[in-house]
Amino acid sequence: MTTDVASKSLLELISLTGRTAVVTGGTSGIGLATAHRFAEAGATVVLAGRNEQRGQKALAELPSEAGQTHSFMPFDIADPAAIAATVAAIVARHGAIHIWANIAGIYPLQDTLSVAPEQWHQVIATNLSGTFFAAREAARQMKAQGTGGVIINTHSTGAHNTPPGGMAAYVASKGGVKALTKTLAHEFGPAGIRVLAVSPTMTATEGIERQAVDLKQLTGLDDAPAMFASRLPLRRVATPDDVARVFFFAASDLSLIMTGSELAADAGELVM
């Protein structure tokens, strides 16, 4: 499936008008910032998340123009049946899915020798299995529409570099997403479905702030994020919007020739 966009202006290439974009984990952090950028570009955005109250608050703050009917959908990425039900509800309400951003995830920090089996399985079920089942359901819908689309997964620089202790389950899950992205890109490409991934470095989200105590226990540093930032070539960690702009590039027609690629929003971490 070939789409010729050479005659389009840059403003047309960055427009998401007329497209429905689903953002899992869209009620906070990177997901919320990405949802804002998608909405700003004209997409109708579906915020998919577990917290109804937070979802409704985030929904009320999304930029909205004529023709945009954003929505919130309850969503548990660790439950394959719930994913399928959510996709059906989205299609019933919005008619189609053109962009699917898999941003929901968890990153608990715990010493490897102390990780219980259920904790390991929860991370894998959420970050890896959830990404697989969500991408599969999104692709099924996009293929049925015959319109193609783009699925954007979330990797991590931790899947490349050796992180400090306490992240074995997280790194394993993200390494799996890295391989999964390439596999799905190969399989879904003939249907005009692109599969990309964004790989953020440490990002200043509420989750990282809540983990400050755990980071201190694991690293022995009073301000581990600041120490980490001082080693990066750009000398800072990412903001949610830094990463959101990369997700937006992946979703737009600017990246139309790209699939199976990983876009590093890393402040230079991967060249260290």
The 10s digit of each residue's pLDDT in 53-87 is 999 999 999 999 888 999 999 999 999 999 999 99
Distance CA 75, CA 52 (A): 9
Give domain status of residue 209, yes or no. no
pLDDT given at position 215: 59
The 10s digit of each residue's pLDDT in 90-130 is 999 999 999 999 999 998 888 899 999 999 999 999 999 99
Show which residues are catalytic. 170
pLDDT over threshold 90, residue 207? no
pLDDT over threshold 80, residue 165? no
The 10s digit of each residue's pLDDT in 19-46 is 999 999 999 999 999 999 999 999 999 9
Q: What are the start-end ranges of the H helices in 112-191?
A: 117-123, 130-145, 168-188
Residue 174 and residue 130 in contact, taking contact as beta carbons nearer than 8 Å = no
User: Which helix H or strand E contains 210, and what residues bound it?
Assistant: helix 206-210
How would residue 164 be classed by pLDDT, with cut points 50, 70 and 90?
Answer: low
Distance CA 20, CA 42 (A): 9
Pick the more confident residue, 196 or 208: 196
Give domain status of residue 221, yes or no. no
- Our count of domains for the chain comes to 1
Give domain status of residue 142, yes or no. yes
Distance CA 271, CA 264 (A): 11
Distance CA 139, CA 35 (A): 20
DSSP conformation letters of 10-58: HHHHT--TT-EEEEETTTSHHHHHHHHHHHHTT-EEEEEES-HHHHHHH
Give domain status of residue 127, yes or no. yes
For tokens 């299609």, the residue is 91
Give domain status of residue 23, yes or no. yes
Q: Could you give the percent of the chain with pLDDT greater than 70?
A: 91
What domain range includes position 27? 11-203+239-267
The 10s digit of each residue's pLDDT in 120-148 is 999 999 999 999 999 999 999 999 999 99
Distance CA 45, CA 37 (A): 10
Give domain status of residue 196, yes or no. yes
Q: 191: which residues sit within 8 A by CB, 6+ positions away?
A: 1, 139, 142, 143, 148
pTM for the full predicted model? 0.93
Give domain status of residue 5, yes or no. no
Distance CA 104, CA 23 (A): 8
- Closest CA relative to residue 90, chosen from 137, 129, 53, 148: 137
pLDDT given at position 171: 92
Give domain status of residue 116, yes or no. yes
> What's the CATH number where 53 sits?
3.40.50.720
